[in-house]
Amino acid sequence: MEAVVRDRNHPALVGWCPLNETYQPITDQITQLDDVTHGMYLATRAADPTRPVLDTSGYSHRVDGADIYDSHNYEQDPARFAEQVGGLAEGRPWINDFEGRAMSVPWRGQPYFVSEYGGIWWNAAIAEEAQDPDRVGSWGYGERVRSVDEWFTRFAGLTDALLDDPGMFGYCYTQLTDTFQEENGLFDFGRQPKFDLARLHAIQTREAAVESIDLANQSRRRTHDHHNRCPTLPRRRRDRVRREGLPQPR
């Protein structure tokens, strides 16, 4: 909470996420993870009610109807990646699971994005060497690319799958910089660019499908649906909201 209070007035911040990659299957028991996730979500929203909150980044979502829903997906084949993440329009978002078992509450139609994808390895100095199977010296996700052009082809293919989906409000590429043996950054460990930044910019700044839809109508419909199932207000207040069309706080 200290970080939220410290930074909540910074204009660069668009949302909050107090946890990352919590990992536990759903059971019929209330677990410590359930309580911690709910508590941190509510505390974050109370500390800054002006921004949306994601309960956890990827994996074990435990707050039903949270402001945001997300997933992590490191599939390296662009066609397979597009198939996996392309089910939003049919109500089938990509949701991380635990060896085939559910570990998140269901998606309720709230804004959705893939908050970790990519992780494409590149180290020009050892590009011709065999892949490191033990991930000790140098690694990224999936099969190594062999050239910068191959890296850009994969990056563009993965990114296009997200930009072409009108239900995808955003994405977050992993990762900005190399971190020790994780050499899948856009910049190296010394914060020097590994790739042509203009080329990276061009791939990501074309019009996204979400920009071509009527966002005002989409937002009103989502808000209406969310309010109709919102359990947090007293019943008389909810009834009045529905009867008179009053705005309801989230």
Tens digit of each residue's pLDDT (9 = 90 or more) over 164-218 = 999 999 999 999 999 999 999 999 999 999 999 999 999 999 999 999 877 556 6
Residue range 59-102, pLDDT digits in tens: 999 999 999 999 999 999 999 999 999 999 999 999 999 999 99
- At residue 228, what is the residue type? N
pTM, full prediction: 0.81
Residue range 20-70, pLDDT digits in tens: 999 999 999 999 999 999 999 999 999 999 999 999 999 999 999 999 999
**Contact yes or no for 89/166 (Cβ under 8 A):** yes
Residue range 105-137, pLDDT digits in tens: 999 999 999 999 999 999 998 888 777 776 678
Of the candidates 191, 197, 188, 184, the residue with the CA atom closest to the CA atom of residue 142: 184
